[in-house]
Structure 1
């Protein structure tokens, strides 16, 4: 009743309000966990606490469909008992978990309109359980790979441990991803206050993320009142001029990011409160609480390249894809092919709608175009054609930032609107600028590089030779 009333008041869907209430519920639950009543419990009872609370949250949102998460855990646990630590177990987990998720997407598409459903936590669980199988496989090797030592599992996890890992209330609904090894270290008290053995001193850090997250959600809601998704599909939008449409797409896309940033910040704050995100101390001896960070706010807002954006947005999911998909494809012998397969899997993981695949295809195109453009830019600077610093440089940085936000917003149209009959007309209306610009860069960059001499490098060699001759 509360969710329905709030949804009516705010003009949102009941599912979205339930999700937000569930995320905010993480804060009183985190304080409950920090109390002596729960914090001093043995690890097994802590697992029970997380399972009971996390499953209740899922049941509040999705009812009996929450049982799908338990089913996934059960199948993967039984598989680990039978053949854990083998290559077959890794292949089975990847295929089974992904297939289960795809079937969930398929049946939901055929029964009701796309929205918040039980496939959302299943999406998180798919990666979490697949990662557990990979980690146990790595832990059984005679020599654990250097990049797997922080996550490898030497001992096979128990059923209750796996359930607790999945239903931990700070990450059951929207993530972020964290390894089972980190979860077990957390439950076993390794992140406790070193002096008292009690909860860590993370309250201030957690509440700061909450305040920042609420601010992002507030800004999103205000701008969305004046520039909703539906406006980009309206006749009024299509009657505007080219530059006006591009400007509105840029503003809409920037605001669309606010929703994701806000939700992840709110989630992260509750995880910090529990102590799960402890990440050691920095060079100044200050405790770090960013191990479960899914968004790097400052880098996202100040970044001037697609690489900056990718490193700052959906951080833990990107790290998961790099660790368990991209790096495991070394046998393909091609970085580009490995990147293509990884982005395809990332799109498939999000859903079956065409917009996801278009979004990640554009990411691949735009990042590669940016790499080409940067090589031309550096060649121009080396040849002395472009000044370093000064007003002209700042103008170039502003233009580059605007182009970056527009191109990423252009890609987000598919991600948010999902179906091609919704995003394709918008692409048509701006003459497919999001394709044309990076495609032109890809074509012209090699030609421009060949026309620009690396004068500074050549001159440097001649000067050095002259110095040597003079000394002789």
Structure 2
């Protein structure tokens, strides 16, 4: 639909601040999926084949025609068919999910390298790797869930029991799942069991009315953040931090600019994720019945909890609330399948999960700088919290609630600054410009992390902090190990 994209390019130039046309086309496709979701849920549950085919054809239209991603659609179709044949051939083997995992990741790596080469040569092309990243999560999760169906129930976690799949699904159901139209391009990712629950239920007028409210409220949230991004996307950018003019600013000005750039950058993700989430909810994805109080039971399909990201008081809360679908996949289908049961945190599993996460994102050096510094920052934040929160803050809070409030405000400011500082290379992408941007921000976070390490490992300042009865505090002893990151 070249004519449509020419119109979108004119619209972007005139009214949207020059946002890349592929992003505008993605927003248009997601908005169109709302209308399609209304049609999708009119199909009776007794006709699952029709629902699967509707989803497949809708994705072919939205992704292939509206977004002009015919190359990407071809890649993902070929990849999905090839991996399906592998699932059938190796269904009885315990190696099946690992073979699917490696092949899916390698195929995605090829696409990411091609994208990176085209961008480095200055070519402007529509990028389909975002959709392929969602595809990889879904197809590898399915492979593990099928493998779980061959195991004894006592070997499975509660999450695995809820999402286990007995045998390879039919080709039509499989394609309906991986090509589910509202979340195909930007997510959210979800398990096959969640998809099946959506396909199998018949909604009542009451339920659909409640789902309409939920879906369109979520859409409004996405539209709000789209306005934020359109208004300020060109004013606050991480790439500006590489420039000499930014280097001339004072520390406070730089810190404020850094945090505003982080919020505006996140606005683009909020827009895509929330608009897509609303369309998925409109189709019935995530609905899990009505409880005894007449309220909807809901499997959380959200990829981000915005309030927890923007106002969380700790790095852990921010991380847990961001890119939730990927975090869930990494936890349940990578980390917990490597870690030894009953042994607590596993260093090997942590490192391998970190490597898989980096591999999944791509090969720009900035990604690896972000993940490396982020892991160190998360570990340091955990050490500070164990050393200060229970033995100091909670003890002082009995003398006045303002102590806890002040601690939470300070934690929020530190968490947000840390998040935005860590995110700089993720958006700048290249190695030396990323280091330049950090240098222009005085390497505040790396210096702070070194200071925490020296204080708690060399000086062992934890010995002078009042201890608490908390098992965590006793176990930590105020120490931080760089190896733990």
| 1:239–1:145 CA distance, 2 compared to 1 (3 A) | same
In the TM superposition, what are the counterparts of 1:54-453 in structure 2 within 5 Å? 54-60=59-65, 61=67, 62-113=69-120, 117-143=127-153, 145-147=156-158, 148-189=160-201, 192-193=202-203, 199=208, 201-281=210-290, 284-331=293-340, 335-378=346-389, 380-381=391-392, 384=395, 389-445=400-456, 447-453=460-466
CA distance in 2, matches of 1:196, 1:180: 26
Q: Which residue of 2 aligns with 1:44?
A: 49
Alpha carbons of structure 1 residues 387 and 359: separation in structure 2 relative to 1, 3 Å: farther
Per-residue CA deviation, residues 304-342 of structure 1 (Å, 9 max, x unaligned), is: 001111221111211111000010111496523322221
C-alpha change, 1:167 and 1:383, in structure 2 (3 Å) is closer
* CA–CA separation in structure 2 for the residues paired with 1:209 and 1:65: 28
Of the candidates 53, 58, 61, which is equivalent to residue 58 of structure 2?
53
CA RMSD of aligned residues (A): 2.4
Determine the structure 2 residue equivalent to 1:468: none
TM-score by length of 1: 0.89
SS of the residue corresponding to residue 233 of structure 2 reads helix
> Which segment is superposed worse, 345-354 or 179-188?
179-188
Cα separation, 2, equivalents of 1:455 and 1:172: 49
Question: How far did 1:398 drift?
Answer: 2.2
**For residue 464 of structure 1, what is the aligned residue in structure 2?**
none
Change (3 A) 1:151 1:236: same
Alpha-carbon distance in 1 for matches of 2:310, 2:297: 21
**Matched position secondary structure for 2:188:** coil
Superposition deviation, residue 86 in structure 1: 2.0
- 1:387 Cα shift? 6.2
TM-score by length of 2: 0.87
Q: Which residue does the alignment assign to 1:460?
A: none
The number of residue pairs the alignment matches comes to 452
Q: Report how far residue 397 of structure 1 moved.
A: 2.6
Instruction: Choose the corresponding residue for 2:12, options 7, 12, 21.
Output: 7
Measured after TM superposition, the shift of residue 67 of structure 1 is 0.8
State the alpha-carbon separation in 2 of the partners of residues 203 and 221 from structure 1.
27
- For 1:15 and 1:251, the matched residues in 2 are separated by 25
Superposed CA offset, 1:106-145 (max 9, x none): 1222233487512221111111111111000001113251
| In 2: Cα distance, 1:73 partner to 1:225 partner | 38
Which one has the largest radius of gyration?
A: 1
Q: CA deviation at 1:164?
A: 0.7
Deviation sequence 1:67-108 (CA, Å, 0-9, x none): 111111111111111111422212211110001111111122
Q: Check conservation: 1:354, 1:420, Cα contact below 8 A.
A: yes
Unaligned residue ranges in structure 1 (runs of 5+): 458-472
Whole-angstrom CA distance in 1 between matches of 2:209 and 2:387: 49
Q: Which moved more, 1:326-335 or 1:51-60?
A: 326-335
Distance in 1 separating the partners of 2:19 and 2:394: 55
- For the 8 Å contact 1:365–1:439, the answer to whether it is kept is no
- For 2:146 and 2:206, locate their aligned partners in 1 and report how far apart those are by CA, in whole Å: 29
Q: Residues 12, 286 of structure 1: CA spacing in aligned structure 2 closer, same or farther, 3 A cutoff? A: same
Which ranges of structure 2 fall in alignment gaps of 5 or more residues? 1-5, 471-485
Supply the distance in 1 between the matched residues of 2:469 and 2:333 (Cα, whole angstroms). 42
Mapped partners of 2:188, 2:98: distance in 1: 23
CA offset at residue 197 of structure 1? 10
TM superposition shift of 1:267? 0.7
- Give the secondary-structure state (helix, strand or coil) at the position aligned to 1:358: helix
Q: CA deviation at 1:3?
A: 1.8
Give 1:201 deviation, angstroms: 3.5
CA contact (8 A) 1:307 1:367 kept: yes
Q: Are the aligned partners of 2:177 and 2:195 in contact in 1 as well (CA < 8 Å)?
A: yes
Q: What's the CA shift for 1:41?
A: 6.4
